[in-house]
Amino acid sequence: MKKIVLIPDSFKGTMSSIEICRIMKEQILIHYPLANVISIPVADGGEGSVDAFLTAMGGHRVFVEVKGPYMEKMQAYYGVVGSDTAIVELAVCAGLPLVDENKHPDQTTTYGVGQLMVHAATHGCSKIIVGIGGSCTNDLGTGAAAAAGVQFYDKSEQSFIPTGGTLCDIIRIDVSGLHPALKDVEIVGMCDIDNPLFGENGAAYVFAPQKGADENLVDLLDKGLRSASGVIQEQLHINITQMPGAGAAGGVGAGMIAFFGARLQMGIEVILDTVEFDRLAEGADLIISGEGMMDTQSLRGKVVIGAARRAKRLGIPLVAVVGDIGEGIEQAYQEGVSGVFSINRAAIPFKEAKMRCKSDLALTMDNLMRLFVCLGCKKSCEKNILPL
């Protein structure tokens, strides 16, 4: 009986990883009806992280009333997997889609994220995985910290909740009020980028424009991150300036380290460890991964490469089924990828291609399975040929 493991990322703007797993599995079972197909949908920090973990591991959602990006009341949730691990997804209460066209990264807050973390810690979770991706904020995670009891003071010694536009006003930070329940909790920040906190490759310059910042605001936001990080280094004795991943979600990566004592990990590594990928994949005949675009960014440790490295150590072939293929991916083969296949079946614009992406994925998987069946038959025939 064939054993095949599916571990795709979402194809951004077209299909979720859960949908992709479903389509892949359907096509596999047509050709291998008795196959043991294990689905591990992936969202490596951004929108859909909770659903991906719950689908892969089981568990349940916990709903909580929290503050949204503009401190409005809203209903949010986190997931609980295993007996005591919470999956908090920043995007559910500070995500870019929540603000629609009302994009002001100098005014938005991650306060609700901190509320979810406190709720999880006070309800029996000893480990919290925070997916830090897809934010509409640039507040260095100060909002989340404030919700958890950290206090920020301005030059008048007035406490306030900073946002991206007021980070420069932070003169003093008091972390002594951090909620006691969080002090003994293991906190992991899960992200899929390695950008530093500030500078030309930092949170403001790289990501703030898509959150609504013009050139002047980008400069202001970057200055705020620089200023606040200086206060953190001086008073908390933590240098977050150039830590890889510090710039994730408008500086939330740095804030998780500075205010919560968290450690940052690439999203795919957190997922592989949490779902016990090595155990699930043991003895598999094939692993199939994928993402929307396979390019040089993928080689920095995103889903396909992260899974391929594990597959290589396990001695299992991995095939990547992707939306599109960019230049310079040759290194992927050295990392453990056996082959890369695009689902694009016609030279048409993305706007048209996305309308047929599900059927194109199904047809691509059908072709791949036909090839594997053919190769399997050939191998069987060769075994039965008697030597001359």
Q: Specify the 3-state DSSP secondary structure of 293.
A: strand
- Region 322-338: mean pLDDT is 91
Total domains in the fold of the chain: 2
| Domain match, 28 and 61 both | no
Residues 110 and 139 sit within 8 Å (Cβ to Cβ): yes
Predicted confidence (pLDDT) per residue in 91-130, tens digit: 999 999 999 999 999 999 999 999 999 999 999 999 999 9
Residue 251 pLDDT exceeds 50? yes
The verdict on residue 280 lying in a domain is no
Residue whose C-alpha is closest to residue 291's, from 336, 247, 210, 357: 357
Residue 246 CA to residue 256 CA, distance in Å, equals 9
Q: Is the pLDDT of residue 381 over 60?
A: no
Residue 46 scores a pLDDT above 80: no
In this structure, are residues 145 and 160 in contact, taking their beta carbons and an 8 Å threshold? no
pLDDT value at position 387? Answer: 47
Residue 274 domain flag: no
Residue 287's pLDDT band (cuts 50, 70, 90): very high
Handedness of CA 276, 280, 285, 288 (dihedral sign): negative
- Kindly tell me if the per-residue pLDDT of 384 is higher than 50: no
In this structure, are residues 257 and 343 in contact, taking their beta carbons and an 8 Å threshold? no
| Residue where a domain stops, chosen among 268, 303, 335 | 268
* Whether pLDDT at 44 is above 80: no
**Which residue did the predictor score with more confidence, 215 or 299?**
215
The structure tokens 């939306």 sit at 323
Q: Which of 167-171, 175-179, 225-229, 377-381 bottoms out in mean pLDDT, i.e. has the lowest?
A: 377-381
CATH of the domain at 17: 3.40.50.10350
Residues 241 and 305 both lie in one domain: no
Residue 273 located in a structural domain: no
Q: Vertex 127, ends 87 and 73: CA angle to 5°?
A: 45
Instruction: Write down the pTM of the prediction.
Output: 0.84
Mean pLDDT of the region 183-200: 91
Residues 183 and 145 in one domain: yes
Cα distances (angstroms) measured from residue 198 to each of 119, 170, 216, 319, 354: 31, 17, 15, 36, 35
Q: Which residue range(s) make up the domain with 339?
A: 3-40+285-317+326-384
pLDDT averaged over every residue in the chain: 91
The domain that contains 56 carries what CATH number?
3.90.1510.10
**Does 99 lie in the same domain as 32?**
no
Domain co-membership, 105 together with 28 = no
Q: Is 228 in the same domain as 182?
A: yes
Instruction: Name 286's bridge partners.
Output: 4
